[in-house]
Amino acid sequence: MSVIRAVVKGCGHYLPERVVENEEFAKTLDTSDEWIRARTGIERRHFAADDQKTSDLAFEAATMALKNAGMTGADLDAIVLATATPDQTFPSTATRLQHAVGMIGGFAFDLQAVCAGFIYALANATALIESGHAKTVMVVGAETFSRIIDFTDRGTCVLFGDGAGALILQAKESEGTGEDRGVLSTDLNSDGKYNDLLYVDGGVSSTQSTGLVRMQGQEVFKHAVSKLASSGEKALELAGLTADDIDWIVPHQANLRIIKRTAKKMGVSMDNVVVTVQDHGNTSAASIPLALSIAVERGQIKKGDLLLLEAIGGGLAWGAAAVRW
Ligand code: UT7
C-alpha cells in the first residue's frame, strides 16, 4: 500500500561556546564533580552568551541542517519549534527563525512539551506531512535553560544546559512497511496530575515573571524509566517492529542512569544507545536532535538504521518515535 512518509533529509545542532565544567558549581555550592558524574553522567554543559537568545541557537542548528540537506530556507513549508524557553512570550520563536533562515511563505509555530517537546514536534510535523498540509518541514528543539535555573539549588542547577538541534523532514511516497525510511510511528502521552513534580514557579498569567525550575528529582526518576520503556514499546508495536529491530535508541539526554535502566528494561544493549549527556547535560527539547546530529557526525547513525527516540519531562509529558534514518 502506497503511503506518504516524513523522511529525514538532514540534521544539525549547535552548542554555545561557553563550556561550564562540573567543578565550576563546587566553587559556590556543596557539590562535587564526583557526585554530578556518578548520579547523572553529566561532565559539562554549555551556557548561551548574555546576548544569545533561543532563536539564535535555533538559527545555528537550522543553518547546519539546511546545509546538510542541501536546501535553503526557501525550500521549507513549515517550521515546528519545541521550546520551553522562548525569546519572548510572543511572537513565537519559530517565526523569528522563519525570518532568519529566509523562509518565504508557509507557516511556523512553537510547541511546548518541555523535555518531551522534540517528540511532540516530530509527531506534529509528521502529521502535517502525512495529511498533505506541508511537504518539507523543519523540526527544531532549542532551549536556553540557563535563564531559568536557580543557581542556589544544587538539586537542579547542575543538570541543565543550553543548545539546539534541527531535523528536516520531507514527504516521500513509500511502501507502508517497517522497512520504509522516515517516521514510522509516534506515541504521545501526558498526565497533568504530576504537574508539581517538575515545573517553573512563575509565568505570564500567574506571577508575570519567568520563574525558576523546581523539581522533585527522585519522583521524576521513578516515573521516567517505566514510562519511557512502555512508550518505546508502544511506538515499536505501532510500526510493526520489536526491540530486536532497533539499531539505535536515541534517548532524551537527562541522566545516564535513566538512559541505562530504560535500555535494560527494553532488552537493548548500551552498545546500541546514543549517549551525549556528558557533554551538554539536560537541554530539554534540544537534547534528542542534538544527540541525533552528534551521532551522525560520529558515524554512529547511518542511512537505513532503525532509531527509537524517547523522552519525558514536565507535565508529566512523554513519548517515543520509531524512525528509519
Ligand atoms: O528532563 C526532565 C526529566 N528530568 C529528569 O529526568 C531528572 C530525573 N531525576 C534525576 O535525574 C535524579 O533524581 C537527580 C540527578 C536529580 C538526583 O539524583 P538522586 O540519585 O535521585 O538523588 P536524590 O535527589 O535522592 O538526593 C540524594 C542526596 C540528597 O542528600 P541527602 O538528603 O541524602 O543528604 C541530596 O540533597 O544527594 C543530595 N544532592 C546533591 N549532593 C551533591 C542533590 N543534588 C546534589 C548535588 N551535589 N548537586
Query: What are the tens digits of pLDDT across the range 148-184?
Result: 999 999 999 999 999 999 999 999 999 999 999 999 9
Contact 8, 324 (CB under 8 A): no
Query: What are the tens digits of pLDDT across the range 229-267?
Result: 999 999 999 999 999 999 999 999 999 999 999 999 999
Please report, for residues 16, 36, 155, 161, 197, the alpha-carbon distance to residue 43 in angstroms, rounded to integers and kept in the order given: 16, 7, 15, 11, 25
Cis preceding linkage at 16, omega within 30 = no
Q: Is the CB of 258 inside a 6 Å radius of any atom of ligand 1?
A: yes
| C-alpha to C-alpha distance for 91 and 199, rounded to whole angstroms | 22
Tell me the CA–centroid distance for residue 289 and ligand 1, in Å.
25
- Residue positions annotated with a catalytic role: 115, 252, 282
Instruction: Take residue 292 and report the three cell numbers written for it.
Output: 541525533
Ligand 1 atom closest to the Cα of residue 255 is 11
Mean pLDDT of the 105-118 span: 98
Q: Is the CB of 282 inside a 6 Å radius of any atom of ligand 1?
A: yes
Query: Is residue 302 left, alpha or beta, with left meaning phi > 0 and alpha meaning psi from -120 to 50?
Result: beta
Q: Which domains does the chain have, with CATH numbers?
A: 3-174 (3.40.47.10), 182-324 (3.40.47.10)
Ligand 1 atom closest to the Cα of residue 257 is 11
Burial of 201 (C-beta count, 10 Å sphere; 0-12/13-18/19+): middle
Pairing of strands 182-190, 162-174: unpaired
Tell me the CA–centroid distance for residue 183 and ligand 1, in Å.
35
| C-alpha to C-alpha distance for 243 and 180, rounded to whole angstroms | 17
Residue carrying C-alpha cell 522562548: 86
Query: What are the tens digits of pLDDT across the range 14-28?
Result: 999 999 999 999 999
| C-alpha to C-alpha distance for 223 and 193, rounded to whole angstroms | 13
Cβ neighbours, 10 Å, residue 195: 11
Tell me the CA–centroid distance for residue 218 and ligand 1, in Å.
7
**Atom 36 in ligand 1: residue holding the nearest Cα:** 155
Residue type, 310: E
Query: What are the tens digits of pLDDT across the range 25-57?
Result: 999 999 999 999 999 999 999 999 999 999 999
**Atom 37 in ligand 1: residue holding the nearest Cα:** 155
- Asked whether the predicted pLDDT for residue 1 surpasses 90, the reply is no
Query: Which residue, 177, 187, 69, 190, is CA-closest to 126?
Result: 187
How many distinct helices (H) and strands (E) make up the chain?
A: 10, 13
**Atom 6 in ligand 1: residue holding the nearest Cα:** 254
